[in-house]
Amino acid sequence: MNAETTRKIRLIMHLRSMGISDTKVLSAMERVPREEFVPKQMIDQAYEDIALPIGRGQTISQPLVVAMMTQVLEISDRDKVLEIGTGSGYQTCVLAHLCRRVYSIERHKPLLLQAEKMFDRLKLRNITAIAGDGMKGWPDQQPFDKIICTACAQGEPPQALLDQLKPGGMMIIPVTKDNHQVLRRYKKEGEDDTFAVKDVMPVRFVPLLPNLAPATENADDEFNKIPA
Residues carrying an active site annotation: 61
Contact 157/175 with Cβ under 8 angstroms? yes
Is the CA virtual torsion 37, 49, 43, 29 positive or negative? negative
Closest approach, Cβ 59 to ligand SAH, in A, equals 5
Please select the residue that binds ligand SAH; options are 52, 135, 153, 161, rule is CB under 6 A: 135
Q: Which of residues 177-206 bind ligand SAH (CB under 6 A)?
A: 206
Which part of the chain contacts ligand SAH (CB under 6 A), choosing from 88-96, 119-127, 164-172, 176-184?
A: 88-96
Q: Does 84 bind ligand SAH (CB under 6 A)?
A: yes
Give the nearer residue to ligand SAH in terms of CB position, either 12 or 213: 213
Separation CA 224–CA 169 (nearest Å) = 36
Burial class of residue 211 (count of CB atoms within 10 Å of its CB; 0-12, 13-18, 19+):
exposed
Can residue 59 be called a binding residue for ligand SAH (CB under 6 A)?
yes
User: Rounded to whole angstroms, how far apart are CA atoms 48 and 56?
Assistant: 22
Does position 87 interact with ligand SAH (CB under 6 A)? The reply is yes
Q: Does 164 bind ligand SAH (CB under 6 A)?
A: no
Q: Which residue of 39, 134, 157, 174 would you call a contact of ligand SAH, by CB under 6 A?
A: 134
Task: Tell me the C-alpha distance between 201 and 22, whole Å.
Answer: 17
Choosing from 32, 81, 96, 151, the residue that interacts with ligand SAH (CB under 6 A) is 151
Minimum Å gap between C-beta 36 and ligand SAH is 12
Cβ within 8 Å of residue 4, ≥6 positions away: 35, 46, 47
Determine how β-strand 165-177 pairs with β-strand 180-188: antiparallel
58 forms part of the interface with ligand SAH (CB under 6 A): yes
Residues 216, 205: Cα–Cα separation, whole Å: 22
| Residues 104 to 133 in contact with ligand SAH, rule: CB under 6 A | 105-108, 111, 133
Q: How far is the CB of 193 from ligand SAH (least distance, A)?
A: 22
CB 58 within 8 A of CB 206: yes
Kindly list the residues in this chain that would bind ligand SAH in the complex (CB under 6 A). 54, 58-61, 84-85, 87-88, 90-91, 105-108, 111, 133-135, 150-151, 206, 208-210
